[in-house]
Structure 1
């Protein structure tokens, strides 16, 4: 159920993004020919008011199609309701609407968290450290650690609770490069002993795992709508800033941070783990992934909304449309890049499917 919940959330975020483009166009009277979730062959479709609504075979995104892109369209090329014949501000709104829709959804989810779950009132820590993520091919994965495990002791010494337990464990790992540590862990109520050998990274031990305090976050009822909106807005700003900073760091220090990039399989694994935890976790997961989709699509890369916006900006500076051959080459290069990146990330993440299989009870 956790995996299905995560997949449903991802599908919903894609639908919201594409709905942003769709409604921005139809609201302005711009012709739309299709609304698709996924790419490739059509699995399910329905025609309504001249628009094809389709579910496609490759679940790596979605798109809104316009008659402008159909060479066989019976609509005259000078039709004023074609997207390409509309003023630049109207076209810019259509392009930006997907990103805006994901950002608005993230804020709305945080508001819903405040209204349904409440306002965070502190963290109730219990002994141990939670493994929230494991990188494939690293020491943690080789030892048998998986996302959701709780580390309760190292070399016979019990770990305390809270952030201090994380600090102590990280210090122990960093100070033991190429040394074997014995971890006491708990998974599904069962205690296990694992042998872990941190890799030596310039004299510092590394294991390739994300660690966080183990426990539960306490919530209290909001004092009123103002507190809900204020807290949601503050959290939204913090999450957005951290997401943007993460993409900037990836671009400026790619060699050091590329291994932290997660593809579809890893994102589903994270969502499945959080779905099992319940509470506020899924609200935060949904908001964070929605913000990530918004920032990712805003990047000035071919096929992404940011790349389309760059073409529109260049057209505005030139005072006339860019040559069709240039636009076609730009889009084709983007397709190869994005499909290639998606395949690499999926292959990278399949090595971590064991954690997903555990969540499924296999």
Structure 2
């Protein structure tokens, strides 16, 4: 469960991260998991973090940084000067330095977004200092790089912000395509030709005399041209004799077979031919990703129209149980299940709900139409309410999972 979810979340956040970096946005943190940090390492401008709870992740972009709100007028600050007397470190609540490159004074005003200046009062006189665009703010030993407006998320164009947000869900769809294509290359693609592949020893097909390589021409006098026709006819005929005409080595043979009943459908214990093709694997990856997407969208539609109730939804506990079940079926099945979860994660995040990527895209759309952004405070309130709703939904579906796991046979 941790490995599967870790891969899904990593790829989702990597999509956000790469497109944000491409747009020039300062990404302060790339985190896997939520809650307390258990490991972190800083490379360049970004801190890469592993957090305790494996239930999500985040890319923290500059522009919504509580650590940058410590500067207030009339407070005492120190400025460490670098080349050309530009400020390279702003010291707040730090021990007083004796270095000649550190100056102190009372903060009068500052602009760390556009003008990159700090105005200090020193011995009754005002002096303006120019700040390096990559200067560090140091508060109680904690360092944070400043972010001029052109390095902040909100300082980018609507198009750049759109792609930085959309890239997360898009990465999940891409992952699903890659997984399904890789599975097809490794394990083959079931052919829709009406040719028999493996015949299970002792099963009805083997007892009737069917062999690997036989091409089914007709069933009960009705011609067949696809494996789907063969499978549907057999599944719909439990306990009923079927007369198959097959072609074997240029000869047509009539072979009667009676499907046994399993899970209320007919089975004769044979499989279709498996094909291996690079081009067909790519086609399969694309079509399977599309099919899973439409299947999930149909389920979401039923949820909205009332065709599916909240009591039928599963949360993390239910997904954990299903992941464990599919893992016991083999690596191929687990890969396909991971692809389904990846599509589901991508679609869920694109829902136009506050606190999700889709909700943020809605606000970007509104900004594009009206020519100016929505008030950040109002947007933040909407996302907060949406986040609370999502937490409530998680509680509900988790309770569903608990009931199914412990109170139902």
TM-score normalised to structure 1 length: 0.68
SS of equivalent to 1:277? coil
| Deviation digits for residues 62-103 of structure 1 (CA, Å, limit 9, x no counterpart) | 111012110333893342121111111000000000010000
2:42 is equivalent to residue 14 of structure 1: no
Question: Conserved in 2, the CA contact under 8 Å of 1:265 and 1:346?
Answer: yes
| Structure with the bigger percentage of helix | 1
SS of equivalent to 1:40? strand
1:124: Cα distance to partner?
7.5
2:96 counterpart residue number: none
- Mark the runs of 5 or more structure 2 residues left unpaired by the alignment: 69-89, 91-110, 115-147, 204-233, 239-261
| Structure with the bigger percentage of strand | 2
Question: Conserved in 2, the CA contact under 8 Å of 1:302 and 1:308?
Answer: yes
Residue of structure 2 aligned with 1:100, choices 152, 170, 185? 170
Residue of structure 2 aligned with 1:278, choices 319, 327, 330? 330
1:247 counterpart residue number: 300
- Mark the runs of 5 or more structure 1 residues left unpaired by the alignment: 1-5, 128-161, 167-185, 187-209, 356-362
Question: Conserved in 2, the CA contact under 8 Å of 1:117 and 1:279?
Answer: no
2:65 is equivalent to residue 70 of structure 1: yes
CA distance in 2, matches of 1:12, 1:299: 21
2:371 is equivalent to residue 315 of structure 1: no
CA distance in 2, matches of 1:62, 1:54: 9
Change (3 A) 1:237 1:258: same
Alignment map for 1:207-286 (pairs within 5 Å): 220-222=274-276, 224-253=277-306, 256-286=308-338
CA distance in 1, matches of 2:283, 2:312: 32
1:163: Cα distance to partner?
4.0
Rg larger for: 2
| Deviation digits for residues 217-258 of structure 1 (CA, Å, limit 9, x no counterpart) | 666241x3211112222212111111111112111216x432
2:121 counterpart residue number: none
2:356 counterpart residue number: 304
Residue of structure 1 aligned with 2:156, choices 83, 86, 90? 86
Change (3 A) 1:12 1:31: same
2:70 is equivalent to residue 34 of structure 1: no
SS of equivalent to 2:302? helix
SS of equivalent to 1:327? helix
2:384 is equivalent to residue 338 of structure 1: no
2:53 is equivalent to residue 58 of structure 1: yes
Alignment map for 1:173-212 (pairs within 5 Å): none
Q: Give the superposed CA RMSD.
A: 3.2
SS of equivalent to 1:47? strand
Question: Higher relative CO (CA 8 A, sep ≥ 6), structure 1 or 2?
Answer: 1
